[in-house]
Structure formats: C-alpha cells, structure tokens
C-alpha cells in the first residue's frame, strides 16, 4: 500500500577531487540525515568528483560494472537502509565520453533505476566563464523516473531545469516528485535558480527536490548552493543556507492531488497553430 507522508533530505556538498574523501563526507552526511528521520536522501550533481580536467576525470572513473565509487555507494545505502537518489556521478561510457548519471537505490542498496543527463551545459557566460559538457559527456536520450514507496519520482539533472517540456512529460507520466540535483554557477544561480525551480513545481504540480553543490571547489569552480525543497503550489518549504549541510522536510502526496485539482493544467492539452 502506497504511503502518503515521508521525510526527504537534500544534501548540500562542496565536492572535491578525491573520491575517497568525498565518499567519507557523503557517508557522514547520509548517516546524519538518517538519524534525523529521513526516509529518502538525495545528493547533488557530481556527488563523488569535481575533476579539474577530462584526464583527471577519466583517471578516476570506470564503466558501471567496475566503478569503485558506485560500489562504495551501494555499501553505504545498504548499511543505512534508506532509499537514496545519488544526484549524479560520472560513469565511463567509452575512451572518449563519460555519462553524467543519476542513480536511484532502494533501502537494500539495489539500483532500481538511473537517468543520464540529457541537456549538456554548453554555455558562455562571459569571456572567463564558459562550459562545454558535450566535450566530455555523452547526452542521455530517455526520460526516466522511479517508483518509490510514496509515488513516482521523475529524475532530472541541473541544466535540464531550463527545458520545461521534460518536466511536463514526467508529470503527465505520473510523477509526484521531481529531483533536480545541481551544480549551478554562482552567476546563473543568483539570477535564475529560485525562479526556475518554483516555476517547474507550479507548472507540474509536483514537489521539487533540488540538492546543490556549494562554494569554492578544489578544481576552481564556484557553485551557488541554496538547496531547495518546493511544494506543488510553488512555495519554498526549506532552503539551505551557506553553512547548511542538508535540509529536511516532511512531504504529503495529498498536496499533489490538491494542487492539480485546483489548477489542472498538467492534464489540459490544446491543439494550436
């Protein structure tokens, strides 16, 4: 029987360049979240490694079957016995490309689904700040969701946030919650983070869970933080401050049905020219 209420924890991290060190930090944060009553734990994009360059990345990752970091995450989830969505880690695809992949685990540490980031962060903010993820990552092609004890959860990653059609489709396919693990830049975060996340919640009538990277990373990148949990009405339920390592909130799936009854736009489709 499906449960209606659960506690979700969104972890906030400043991931570095040492996978073992990041695993240790992840374990402590997840253990703390479990102690605080979390039924579901969600981590940011690139939970285990923020590499300095492509060579350093490929020196530390492997194909899924052989990946050290992924195997250790399975052990952590199994020990803590808590549903977990690892926002993303890098998995080797071939000798040229990696995958930016989100993993969902049940409470026994079994992978129950995954999602490969579809939209690559290929942008030029200014002369000094530019990113071309497509040089390193192979984009995903398929939307993905996972059945949790409280309902269906849609999976997205960071830059996907700017493409609302995928959120609408996830909601139309039954999602009550959608994850947006991220490593937003400071500049784009200050300008767009809150607005885009609230819009995705309002448009879909879903809870939005957005754990984020924060601060100055060892590879020189600066990320915005402000992890958020947002209601289907678009209200910010919980927001992380700069020194917070996580946020936790109780969610009730009845709020999804209530929002969609008030404003049924997710199920209203019109033909237009």
Domains within the chain, CATH numbers bracketed: 5-267 (3.60.110.10)
CA–CA distances in Å: residue 10 to residues 7, 64, 162: 10, 24, 21
pLDDT band at 254 (very low <50, low <70, confident <90, very high): very high
Residue closest to 109 by CA, chosen among 141, 86, 136: 86
Mean pLDDT of 237-245: 95
145 pLDDT above the threshold of 90: yes
Looking at 29, 45, 92, 255, which residue is catalytic?
A: 45
H runs (alpha helix) in 49-180? 54-60, 68-80, 164-172
Examine the residue annotation and report whether 138 is marked as an active-site residue of this protein. no
* Confidence at residue 148, expressed as pLDDT on a 0 to 100 scale: 98
* Confidence at residue 127, expressed as pLDDT on a 0 to 100 scale: 72
CA–CA distances in Å: residue 79 to residues 38, 72, 74: 15, 11, 9
Looking at 10, 29, 153, 158, which residue is catalytic?
A: 158
* Confidence at residue 273, expressed as pLDDT on a 0 to 100 scale: 65
Mean pLDDT of 14-23: 97
21 pLDDT above the threshold of 90: yes
pLDDT band at 271 (very low <50, low <70, confident <90, very high): confident
Helix (H, G, I), strand (E, B) or coil at 63: coil
Examine the residue annotation and report whether 158 is marked as an active-site residue of this protein. yes
- Dump pLDDT digits (tens) for 74-133: 999 999 999 999 999 999 999 999 999 999 999 999 999 999 999 998 888 777 777 889
- Dump pLDDT digits (tens) for 162-217: 999 999 999 999 999 999 999 999 999 999 999 999 999 999 999 999 999 999 99
% of the chain at pLDDT higher than 70? 99
Looking at 29, 92, 117, 176, which residue is catalytic?
A: 117
Average pLDDT, the chain: 96
Examine the residue annotation and report whether 45 is marked as an active-site residue of this protein. yes
């Amino acid at each position: 029987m499906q449960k209606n209420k659960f506690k979700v924890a969104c972890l906030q991290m400043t991931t570095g360049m040492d996978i073992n060190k990041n695993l240790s930090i992840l374990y402590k944060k997840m253990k703390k979240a479990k102690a605080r009553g979390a039924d579901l734990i969600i981590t940011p994009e690139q939970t285990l490694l923020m590499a300095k360059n492509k060579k350093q990345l490929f020196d530390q990752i492997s194909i899924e079957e052989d990946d050290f970091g992924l195997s250790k995450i399975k052990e952590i989830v199994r020990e803590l016995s808590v549903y977990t969505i690892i926002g993303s880690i890098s998995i080797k695809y071939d000798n040229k490309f990696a995958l930016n992949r989100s993993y969902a685990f049940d409470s026994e540490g079994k992978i129950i689904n995954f999602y490969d980031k579809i939209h690559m962060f290929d942008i030029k903010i200014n002369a000094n700040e530019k990113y071309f993820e497509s040089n390193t990552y192979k984009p995903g092609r398929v939307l993905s969701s996972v059945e949790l004890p409280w309902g269906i959860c849609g999976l997205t990653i960071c830059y996907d946030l700017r493409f609302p059609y995928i959120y609408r489709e996830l909601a139309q396919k039954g999602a009550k919650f959608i994850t947006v693990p991220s490593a937003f830049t400071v500049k784009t975060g200050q300008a767009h983070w809150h607005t885009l996340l609230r819009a995705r919640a309002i448009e879909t009538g879903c809870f939005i869970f957005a754990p984020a990277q924060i601060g100055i990373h060892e590879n020189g990148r600066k990320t915005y933080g402000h992890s958020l949990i947002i209601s289907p009405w678009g209200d910010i339920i919980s927001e992380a401050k700069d020194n917070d390592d996580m946020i936790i909130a109780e969610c009730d799936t009845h709020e999804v049905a209530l929002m969609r009854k008030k404003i049924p736009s997710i199920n209203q489709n019109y033909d237009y020219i």
